[in-house]
A and B are shown apart, each in its own frame.
Chain A
Amino acid sequence: MGLNRVVATGVGIVTALGSGWRTNADGFRLGKTAFRPVTVFDVSRHCAKTAAEVDLPEIFPATRLTPKRFRRMGRASKMLLLAAHEALAQAGWQADGDWPIILGTTSGEMTLGENFLRQAVESPRRKRDQPSRIAHYQVQQQGLDLCDAFGFAGAVTTISNACASGANAIGHAFERVRRGQDERIIAGGYDALCQLTFAGFDSLHALSVTHCRPFDAHRDGLSLGEGAAVFTLERLDGAKERGAEIFGEIIGYGATTDTHHLTQPHPEGSAAVAAMQAACAEARVLPEQIDYVNAHGTATPHNDAAEAAAINRWAGAHAGKTHVSSTKAGIGHLLGGAGAVEGAICLMALREQFLPPETTLETVDPAVRFQIVQKPMERKIKTALSNSFGFGGANASLVFRRWE
């Protein structure tokens, strides 16, 4: 059976830099940062105080959702809706097919779950709003919201592989279209800031109390962010046939499991190397043919040390010429949304020919043998690789190619 080439004909993105391809591409080109004091919940008793919050628009694009249904949706669903609206508008897909939806998230609409628990504990007899919270909290509801918003009725699959979820969703969708199991798929990742997760990383002392500096010798932890990215993926021949605009091509996906520890990667990044190698093998490219690596780069001491070791090993003799950056320096760690958003950033870099810098870096960690992009840089690039590594050892790498 021949394999299909898989292209993105729509890429919607929402981050703390703003909504939409243009705003985000401009921001990532310059290495803008978007951290500020957290306002979506009370952080006065937490060690860390900042995150990269999204400003949701006051007016949302019209969809088929009723106003009542829309009001009941939380921040995560609304960010996902915005990203999907942009992607579907770019792709020009109409509600004329039951296209499957594959999403990645760690928390779904966790804030609604928090509110449910808070009321259940503080006012055990009060049931007001509780059914709605439960209905909209559940992870599958966000996929169904997209179905109803845009008139699709396809299967909804949600992968929750911690911080690799978004990359797994894109990768899984890529594989299904590549092997002819589906003609088109809506795929993406999303997560909104919520107190449970914020407190969780804070309890692990994993949150930065200064600023997010991936691969910096003096890094002191990650900063959380929120957002979503949605891709419309389809077969190249179908996209060409209908004259669709093509934003880029996905050519490789690798996924492995690091069994070293629930929250810490293997110090040598062995499973990470395996994921990168698998993605490159499927893409039929060598490390020296990868022009840009969007690293997982959380800025925690353990992650960046292990990922630096992994990239050094994967790139081998070519490491010194490999351009790498972590865009978490600008928008924070989007958890289940990270892999999809960072995939979108790779497509922006490939399409608009720039390397996204991390402008917060001060002193490069001596373990790093590759070139970290520190300043805005225009560059002719053809191929990019994105890494996503999560709790539980969920590792995923995606390889993208510029569409010319």
Chain B
Amino acid sequence: MSGIFIHGLGAVSPAGWSMADFRSAVDKNVPLPVQTVTRPGLEQPLPNRAVPPAASRPAFLTHSRLRRATAIAQHAVAAALEAIGGDVAKVQSGELCLGIIVGAITGCVTYSRRFYEEVMREPATASPVIFPETVFNSPASHLAAFLGTNQIAYTLVGDAGTFAQGLALAAEWLLEDRLDACVVIGAEENDWITVEAIKLFQRRVIHGAGAGAVYLKKSPVGALAELAAVTDSFSFTHTQSRAGAARKMRAQLPPAGSDEMLCGSAQNIPRLDEAENSAWKDWNGTRLLPKAILGEAFVAAAAWECVAACDAIARGKFSAANVSIVGANQQAIGARFSAPK
């Protein structure tokens, strides 16, 4: 996969609406405070980590397509625009041909819940304004509209590993020369219904929300990092356990170098982390767990892992970083980033 380079990073997280906020939280390596979300019908609120309000209203929200946009769309667009940075104008002018890949698992869950609650009450008055925003690909569509690009855009749905599938797809498109650049985004939003669903499976998980974005091109000039590899996706099936899939993923990534980092998907919950910890038991280098700091935000959290890895390389802290993503219920998949040569 050598030949694909990272040219920008973006992050929206419970730490705030920028890479600076994200970096600050990751560098401290201390779990952010847990907040609560009201659970209608029950006195006990549910724990979570929400994205705080932006210090100032993001300028992109004045765009006609984004005024009513869901939280997930706002997260996705903010992270993508931060990652694309100075090239936004080039995309808008048509000078640069950009592909878009958005990954998510919960999608626009808040509007979906609100819309279906309206349907349960009285279908005839359910809001036609909300419904279109519930579609999985609305964040990608809004971003394309904001940027004015009519190039290919895919929305991939699945567990956290979907982000790495998106990276591999972006690399394919770039290597085929069908695009000048591609932005890959993992995005999720908070809602009490998601928090409750998570609690049914693992009570100690703290739900988070936000987005991470990685901006890729073929050119090494000015790159922050190189996408050295994306492993195969190993599905969790009858014939392949979660632990077995994690081991196969790990086997496709190199052993620890002295100045390398591992960005993992564990969150300091032993039962949940067992498959990943077992697969990486030989790793004796630095290990960073963004989810343990920011919360379980599924595809967005996998994006944060990649963003943190690239950022550490770009700041000269490590020469390379492996990213391990052992998803909740679909796949184990990994990626490797290195300093651009």
What is the interface of chain A, defined by CB distance below 8 A to chain B? 45-47, 64, 106, 108, 113-114, 116-118, 120-121, 124-125, 127, 130-131, 134-135, 138-141, 144, 147-148, 151-162, 168, 172, 179, 181, 195-196, 199-205, 255-259, 262-263, 270-271, 274, 390-394
Contacts and interface: CB of A to CB of B under 8 A. Distances in A.
Interface string B17-58: 000000000000000000000011110000000000000000
A288 B40 CA distance: 60
B119 A256 contact: no
B132 interface: yes
Given A135-B329, A155-B331, A392-B138, A257 B158 contact: no
Given A121-B40, A196-B115, A199-B119, A155 B233 contact: yes
B137 A162 contact: yes
A304 B134 CA distance: 23
B116 A394 contact: no
B133 A262 contact: yes
Given A138-B159, A138-B329, A201-B131, 17 more contacts: A113-B112, A121-B41, A139-B158, A140-B157, A144-B330, A157-B158, A159-B157, A160-B156, A161-B154, A195-B116, A200-B115, A200-B131, A256-B152, A257-B100, A257-B151, A259-B141, A392-B138
A150 to B, nearest CB: 10
A195 B119 contact: yes
B59 interface: no
A147 B137 contact: no
B99 to A, nearest CB: 9
A196 B111 CA distance: 11
B284 interface: no
Contact of A138 (B105, B112, B148): B105
A367 B107 CA distance: 37
B294 interface: no
B176 interface: yes
A140 B145 CA distance: 28
Interface in B96-141: 100, 105, 107, 112-113, 115-117, 119-120, 122-124, 126-128, 131-138, 140-141
B299 to A, nearest CB: 11
Contacts of B154: 159, 161, 168, 172
A196 B119 contact: yes
B158 to A, nearest CB: 4
A341 B219 CA distance: 40
A47 B126 CA distance: 12
A391 B239 contact: no
A46 B124 contact: yes
B236 interface: yes
B155 interface: yes
B156 A157 contact: yes
B232 interface: yes
Contact of B116 (A131, A181, A196): A196
A120 B196 contact: yes
B157 A391 contact: no
Contact of A140 (B40, B200, B330): B330
A390 B155 CA distance: 12
B155 A161 contact: yes
A392 B135 contact: yes
B65 interface: yes
Interface centre among A118, A201, A203 (most CB of B within 10 A): A203
A141 B237 CA distance: 10
A49 to B, nearest CB: 12
A271 B135 contact: no
A118 B119 CA distance: 11
Contacts of A159: 154-157
A203 to B, nearest CB: 4
28 contacts: A46-B123, A106-B136, A108-B157, A120-B196, A131-B200, A138-B105, A139-B105, A140-B105, A140-B157, A141-B329, A147-B235, A153-B240, A155-B165, A155-B234, A157-B165, A160-B157, A168-B154, A179-B172, A196-B119, A199-B119, A203-B131, A256-B150, A257-B100, A262-B132, A262-B138, A270-B150, A390-B137, A393-B145
A204 B128 contact: yes
Contacts of A255: 152
B138 A179 contact: no
Nearest to A139: B157
Given A155-B232, A179-B176, A392-B137, A124 B156 contact: no
Given A106-B136, A391-B137, A116 B165 contact: no
Nearest to B116: A196
Contacts of B145: 259, 262, 393
B153 interface: yes
A64 B158 contact: no
B149 interface: yes
B42 A124 contact: yes
Given A393-B141, A394-B153, A156 B330 contact: yes
Contact of A257 (B107, B150, B329, B330): B150
A45 B132 contact: no
A156 B158 CA distance: 9
A152 B113 CA distance: 34
A392 to B, nearest CB: 3
B251 interface: no
A121 B120 contact: yes
Contacts of B40: 121, 124
B122 to A, nearest CB: 7
A104 to B, nearest CB: 10
Contacts of A199: 115-116, 119, 123, 126, 131
Contacts of A202: 123, 126
B171 to A, nearest CB: 11
B237 A271 contact: no
A199 B172 CA distance: 38
B144 interface: yes
Contacts of B159: 138, 140
A195 B100 CA distance: 30
Contacts of B100: 257
B237 A144 contact: yes
Given A124-B41, A135-B329, A391-B138, A118 B152 contact: no
